[in-house]
């Protein structure tokens, strides 16, 4: 059905909200860099940075592609559930199977 909004209207409606989100992301990465101790190779932070690159590639359907980037792409059930929750991303090198 498409969007009834013009590009100008989209910018007018949503710019400030997303300006704040970009600043949140920037501050998170700064906070991560300032922090001490283990965790420097946290795969979730690597996944976040890889997603940022997708945002700037000029191609459509960024949201779908980011979700796919963070997804488990294996196809067989695992032997046993290791926990209840989820982590939000896969280690990038392990995306083809756990």
Contact residue for other proteins among 20, 40, 42, 71 (CB under 8 A): 71
Widest Cα–Cα separation across the chain: 51
Cβ-based burial of 89 (10 A; exposed 0-12, middle 13-18, buried ≥19)? buried
Among residues 34 and 49, whose Cβ is nearest to other proteins? 49
63 binds other proteins (CB under 8 A): yes
Q: Could you give the CA distance from residue 57 to residue 59 in angstroms, rounded to a whole number?
A: 6
90 binds other proteins (CB under 8 A): yes
Among residues 13 and 23, whose Cβ is nearest to other proteins? 13
Contact residue for other proteins among 16, 27, 55, 67 (CB under 8 A): 67
Main-chain dihedrals φ then ψ at residue 37, nearest 5 degrees? 90, -170
Main-chain dihedrals φ then ψ at residue 20, nearest 5 degrees? -65, -40
30 binds other proteins (CB under 8 A): no
Residues that bind other proteins (CB under 8 A): 1-5, 13-14, 61, 63-64, 67-68, 70-75, 77-90
């Amino acid at each position: 059905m498409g969007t009834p909004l013009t590009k100008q209207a989209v910018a007018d409606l949503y710019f400030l909200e997303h300006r704040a989100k970009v600043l949140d992301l920037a501050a998170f990465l700064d906070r991560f860099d300032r922090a001490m101790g283990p965790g420097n190779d946290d795969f979730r932070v690597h996944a976040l940075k890889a997603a940022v690159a997708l945002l700037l590639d000029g191609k459509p359907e960024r949201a779908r592609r980011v979700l796919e980037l963070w997804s488990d792409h294996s196809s067989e059930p695992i032997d046993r559930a290791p926990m209840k929750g989820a982590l939000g991303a896969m280690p990038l090198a392990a995306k083809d199977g756990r």
